[in-house]
Amino acid sequence: MTIAPPHACKDIPDEQFLTAVDDAIQIRSDDDGRQWVWATRWDVAAVLAGRPDLVGIGEACDPSLFPPDLLSAKIGQLVRRGVLDGCACGCRGDLSRPGGTEPERILRSDSAS
């Protein structure tokens, strides 16, 4: 899942961002069947940049993968709307989906309010 180089939050579709969170969580899950419940901001950046091989690896912290300020802004938007749990302050984020719901269902219920 690679998206065109974004310039603003509106350039990153919400559903695509939330799917990147889901994908990063799934990639972090280990072979023993234990499921991670969160992903770091760098994990999500790696998935969005088309480098899922970097999830959980230090190289994912490379700011050239995805603009860090834009990532923080998008995380903040989604957290404020209640469709993403975590922190947008610039820390690792501990990003997760409220209740583990699918992006389509969250976005539909959000737009209905």
Interval 22-56: pLDDT, tens: 999 988 887 567 777 889 999 999 999 999 988 88
Q: Cα torsion at 14, 19, 21, 22 (round to 10°)? A: 150
- Asked if residue 12 belongs to a domain, the reply is no
Specify the DSSP class assigned to residue 69.
H
5-16 as b/e: b if 16+ CB within 10 A: ebeebeebebee
- Asked if residue 86 belongs to a domain, the reply is yes
Percent of the chain with pLDDT over 90: 38
Q: How confident is the model at residue 2 (pLDDT cuts 50, 70, 90)?
A: low
Interatomic CA distance for residues 83 and 57, integer angstroms:
26
Q: How confident is the model at residue 113 (pLDDT cuts 50, 70, 90)?
A: very low
Residues spanned by the domain of 105: 20-112
* Residue 90 pLDDT > 60: yes
- Asked if residue 75 belongs to a domain, the reply is yes
* Residue 103 pLDDT > 70: no
Total tally of structural domains belonging to the chain? 1
- Asked if residue 93 belongs to a domain, the reply is yes
Mean pLDDT calculated for residue range 89-104: 76
- Asked if residue 13 belongs to a domain, the reply is no
- Asked if residue 15 belongs to a domain, the reply is no
Listed in sequence order, the DSSP H helices in the chain are 14-28, 41-48, 68-81, 103-112
- Asked if residue 5 belongs to a domain, the reply is no
* Residue 8 pLDDT > 90: no
pTM of the model: 0.79
- Asked if residue 43 belongs to a domain, the reply is yes
